[in-house]
Amino acid sequence: MTISIAITWILFLGLFPIAFFWLRRAWRILVGRDFSEVALKGGVSPADPEKYAPYVAAINLVAGGIVVAVILMIVIGGIAYDIWSAIAGSTIWMKFLADYILRQHAHPMWGKKKQAASKDRL
């Protein structure tokens, strides 16, 4: 067994828990109405997590669906390694970036400074 085969298997097997956790998070938000993991920044929820819940659910649902589709295409055998690894890698990075952007939007810096300044005046 060469190192490239081992890395290919590690990447392929890693797609299963990634898809599971992302789809489970979407399920918890949409069906279970659990907003405890919505846009956390430093372990703290935003002021109104229910406002951002549909966006977080959509990000997780789309990313998890793409990963499941990649897994199915690999198992069926209709996709080359270069293509599925590029799709999987791009999906993982785009999901992380989308989560980061949403998290930054849910915890605005300017709102905290404004609130702190108004509290100092009192």
Q: Long-range contacts for 40-43 (Cβ within 8 Å, ≥24 apart)? A: 40/103, 41/103, 41/104, 41/106, 41/107
Q: Strand pairing partners for 41? A: 44
- Decide if pLDDT at 34 tops 50: yes
- Decide if pLDDT at 116 tops 60: no
Instruction: Write out the two tokens for 75.
Output: 């198992």
pLDDT score at 36: 82
- Decide if pLDDT at 89 tops 90: yes
pLDDT score at 46: 81
